Structure 1
Amino acid sequence: MAKRTKKRVTPKTKARDRSLWLYLLILLLCAGIVWMITLPDDAIEEPVKEPVARVAEFDLNKVIASLETKFSLPEGGISRKKSRGVEQLTLPVDRGKMDLSYANFIVKGVFETHGANLSSGRVEGGKQVLSFSRGEDEILVNLVYAAPAARKASSQKYIAIVVDDFGSVSGEMLQQWLELPTEVCFAIISRLKHSEETMNLANAQGRETLVHVPMEPIDYPRQNPGQDPILVQMDQARVEKTLLRHINSLPLCMGINNHMGSLATTDSDIMGWVMGVLKKKGKSFLDSRTSTVSIAYQEAQKARVPAYRNDLFLDSPNISDANLETRLGLVQELGQRKNTVVVISHCHNAEKLEYLKKFISRVKTLGFTLIPLSRVGKTDVPEIL
């Protein structure tokens, strides 16, 4: 077999190959440069110029006028002074209409619309202090609970009534409850035997309804809130899934209120997740206020969920004539501080129905007009910008 000889590569051959590759590389670079030079101008894509948002020229007098309009204050209702070169405003907030947290959002929106930025915020005793900056200027806004100066209180008083715990009531007893004025709202516990029936009958009357959602009380599990409660140990996904199960089972209800929940309504995470669901579903929230330290109403306002707040329970501690007189007195006192009062009762038996009928008759003679829950605060509370 003939032996195959291997072709020998000399150093000159290697050098010649390198020169050839270098020549080709230079040729390609030159071609690229020529192509770039001869490329038409319209073939080069220019970056998109974002429109520059126009900010209104800052005028503190206009800001004050806007705030007075937002808070239904008369001209001069916001006090103004200058101390050590810093403008200071004191804005009185009607506690019956909103809390300081909600007022905070409104003030921030007005200042930002006029070109100022929020620098800081702090709580001092019973007031909130917001610091805004515009260039080198600083403006302090003190939000305090106070009766607005020279503001005329409306002589018209309103009351909204919610009756809790429907879902088990049926037959003739349910029909008797349905004979109440249609302004009375029914709160229905989901997935009970007569829950859907109650919702449909109420809806046919034009009556508003709520889903009465079980939430964890302070003494859970000794006190049982019912099926599928929202518990504080739940994570976000579990809270959302549980709440959607309740809401979706009663789709005609305008919103929810809490059944028990003296612990759950004090948890900012739980309430924040609840409001997130309600916001997406377009539902409202009534804070039953089973706890004096509930933050549910404030969380609803932060999430911009339509929110209402119970002022008192009518049938607690009992349904005696003496308690009826006490409750009527409390409603009158509340009516002196705010135009609309919200109360809650329960549908447990015929005696409570008769008690509620007496209350409605008496409260009307005191000058209160019965309104649906959705009408509460419609003209009183300004929107956040």
Structure 2
Amino acid sequence: MRFWSVIALLCCLSGAAHAAPANAPEAPRKAYLTLIIDDLGQNLPRDRRVLAFPGPVTTAIMPDTPHAAEFAREAHKAGKIVILHMPMDPATGPFAWHPDLPLEELAKRLDAAFKAVPYTSGINNHEGSRMTAQPQAMAWLMGELQQRHKFFVDSRTSAKTVAAAEAQKIGLASVSRDVFLDNVRTEDAITQQLNTAIKHARSHGSVVMIGHPYPQTLAVLERELPTLKAQGIDWIDIKQMIGVRSNQAMDAHGKNGVYR
């Protein structure tokens, strides 16, 4: 009896050795991050600091800046993705879109803006809280971008934006911003927002950040971006992020993947 008891015990131990522990930790979830810097093209020495970031930063260049074309060429040569930072109401200037403009004038201004910023792969809105809430204009824009083979980034400057929803309706490659880094221009506040973005990436799988070339923002990013990999954050470019999200809305922007 003792012999068979020992055999039974050994069998149990052998089975336990090959069985996965009931409380085995799950594989860590991927955490993707992408970074866009807006309002570029105004100051070359300042903006070139963005090109030195150690990863695939997206450069959003305003068409009505003195160095728009030159900086776009430099960013493209440096291997960075260039997008048109399109002025929209309440922004002003010769390229700006306003709700009272006819589609013909919107088309004229968009075409001129693309000519002012070469090498663009896509577009995001500069300001635009009133303009991105206009369904007809946004529907037209998304159709136009699809014809031009450009993607769209909704900066989400308004809770009433319909831009991403209109892009999703026609299957245009697009993505929406999750975190603004520098609404408060202090290094402490920007660092806190960056930490918020990292937490968002870990909990939701990805985060799209937008910042500006303010001295405080540049200082924080130059210090913190090199540490992302050690924190388990995978910094990817905007095109990869569009693929990761597959045109689906995050929970903060819609329901069941559909933008509201």
State the TM-score, normalized to the length of structure 2: 0.78
* Structure 1 equivalent of residue 42 of structure 2: 168
* Structure 1 equivalent of residue 256 of structure 2: none
* Partner residue of 1:343 out of 198, 209, 220: 209
Q: What does residue range 309-324 of structure 1 map to in structure 2 within 5 Å?
A: 309-324=176-191
2:166 and 2:247 mapped to 1: Cα distance? 17
* Structure 2 equivalent of residue 207 of structure 1: 80
Whether contact under 8 Å (1:340, 1:377) holds in the other structure is: no
2:86 and 2:64 mapped to 1: Cα distance? 11
Question: Percentage identity across aligned positions?
Answer: 28
For the pair shown, the structure with the greater C-alpha radius of gyration is 1
Larger RCO (CA under 8 A, 6+ residues apart)? 2
Q: Per-residue deviation at 1:194?
A: 0.7
Amino acid at match of 1:260: E
SS of corresponding position for 1:197: helix
SS of corresponding position for 1:254: strand
1:379 and 1:322 mapped to 2: Cα distance? 28
Greater helix share, 1 or 2? 2
SS of corresponding position for 1:304: coil
CA distance 1:227–1:331, change in 2 (3 Å): farther
Structure 2 unaligned runs (5+)? 1-25, 249-260
Q: What does residue range 1-385 of structure 1 map to in structure 2 within 5 Å?
A: 155-170=29-44, 172-217=45-90, 224-337=91-204, 339-348=205-214, 350-381=215-246
1:382 and 1:292 mapped to 2: Cα distance? 19
Amino acid at match of 2:210: I
2:227 and 2:135 mapped to 1: Cα distance? 39
Deviations 1:218-245 (A, max 9, x none): xxxxxx4443211111122121111111
1:158 and 1:245 mapped to 2: Cα distance? 34
CA distance 1:326–1:284, change in 2 (3 Å): closer
1:322 and 1:333 mapped to 2: Cα distance? 16
SS of corresponding position for 1:183: coil
Structure 1 unaligned runs (5+)? 1-151, 218-223
SS of corresponding position for 2:211: strand
Whether contact under 8 Å (2:175, 2:247) holds in the other structure is: no
Q: Per-residue deviation at 1:362?
A: 4.6
RMSD: 2.2
1:297 and 1:208 mapped to 2: Cα distance? 20
SS of corresponding position for 2:126: strand
Whether contact under 8 Å (1:158, 1:371) holds in the other structure is: yes
Whether contact under 8 Å (1:232, 1:264) holds in the other structure is: yes
1:325 and 1:366 mapped to 2: Cα distance? 15
Whether contact under 8 Å (2:33, 2:201) holds in the other structure is: no
Moved more, 195-204 or 354-363: 354-363
Q: Per-residue deviation at 1:359?
A: 3.7
SS of corresponding position for 2:120: coil
Amino acid at match of 1:341: V
Amino acid at match of 2:139: G
Q: Per-residue deviation at 1:157?
A: 0.9
CA distance 1:340–1:314, change in 2 (3 Å): same
CA distance 1:332–1:174, change in 2 (3 Å): same
Moved more, 350-359 or 312-321: 350-359
Q: Per-residue deviation at 1:323?
A: 4.2
1:154 and 1:235 mapped to 2: Cα distance? 51
1:248 and 1:186 mapped to 2: Cα distance? 16
Number of positions where the alignment pairs a residue of Structure 1 with one of Structure 2? 223
Amino acid at match of 1:376: M
Deviations 1:237-283 (A, max 9, x none): 12111111111222311011000001111110110111121111111
1:246 and 1:382 mapped to 2: Cα distance? 25
Whether contact under 8 Å (1:225, 1:259) holds in the other structure is: no
CA distance 1:277–1:205, change in 2 (3 Å): same
Whether contact under 8 Å (1:328, 1:359) holds in the other structure is: no
2:144 and 2:194 mapped to 1: Cα distance? 34
